[in-house]
Homo-oligomer: A and B are copies of this chain.
Amino acid sequence: MTPGRRSGVRLGASAERDVLLRRVVAELVGTGFLVAAVVGSGIAAQRFSPHDTGLQLLENSVVTGAVLVALILALQPVSASFNPVITLVERALGRVSTTTAVGLVVAQVVGGLMGVVAANLMFDLPAVNVSTHHRGGAGLLLGEVVATLGLVVVVFGALRSPRIETVAFAVGGYITGAYWFTSSTSFANPAVTVARTLSDTFAGIAPASAPGFVLMQVLGGVLGAGLVLVLHPPSTRTFPSAEEKR
């Protein structure tokens, strides 16, 4: 979703380190705010709308979509994946190097953990409170596969559109919807899933339920990547970067 190494400009080793550092910071900040938005709005929804679970989910899903639009628009000029599945598909498509991919995924996981701690503290909860919210069953696991498959199709399809900022609106709209149309409320993101184990609130997930979710997300990611290869001919599959679309 961001400037890749295909930019044609050869950078020195020090400049390359600078670019990677900035990308790591962007993924850290972006995933941190994303998780803070998911968990924080979940806590607020639970407190302020105690009578209707649907209203809580509406609040939670609208907030998550709106914040995704903001974060992707703002960090896309640097790096805006916020999701290990997306980064792994970018690696598989040759858009990022292995070193970069590892750096981004670590940043996403660490950023997510920082985000959940920030949300807990802002709402005067212990910094870490492990979730006891068990999530599982065939329907929910299928939900995670469908949710992640769709996310991959949406991200890499929108990247082919004439203007790169469409990715922000496509992802924001998709996730707002996927909270509702998948029975799992669409975690669709391993870094966010790990972080959500550390909040025993509306948006939490028990640690024992997390591995199943992550596995289904990886499976959905693989199926989604396959669909991307079918949908987009090789000549278009390089996906122009933000810089090249200016």
Contacts and interface: CB of A to CB of B under 8 A. Distances in A.
B173 A165 contact: no
Interface stretch (A29-37, A91-99, A207-215): A29-37
A37 to B, nearest CB: 4
Contacts of A77: 157, 160-161, 232, 236
A87 to B, nearest CB: 18
Copies of chain A in the complex: 4
A49 interface: yes
Contacts of A70: 154, 158, 169-171, 173-174, 177
Contacts of A37: 177, 180-181
Interface residues of A, number: 95
Given A177-B41, A181-B40, A231 B26 contact: yes
Contact of A122 (B52, B165, B166, B183): B183
A69 B230 contact: no
Chain B CB within 10 Å, residue with most, of A74, A158, A161: A74
A232 B74 contact: no
A180 B69 contact: no
Interface in A14-45: 18, 22, 25-26, 29, 33, 36-41, 44-45
Among A50, A146, A164, the most chain B Cβ lie within 10 Å of the Cβ of A146
A69 B169 contact: yes
Nearest to A79: B231
B67 A177 contact: yes
Contact of A181 (B36, B176, B183): B36
Interface string A142-173: 11001000100111111011111110111111
Nearest to A73: B170
Contacts of A218: none
A138 B127 CA distance: 13
Given A49-B53, A122-B146, A181-B119, A165 B174 contact: no
A154 B22 CA distance: 15
Given A22-B231, A74-B158, A168-B169, 4 more contacts: A47-B54, A77-B160, A123-B183, A162-B164
* 6 A-B pairs with least C-beta separation: A49-B54, A74-B157, A40-B181, A48-B54, A70-B174, A67-B177
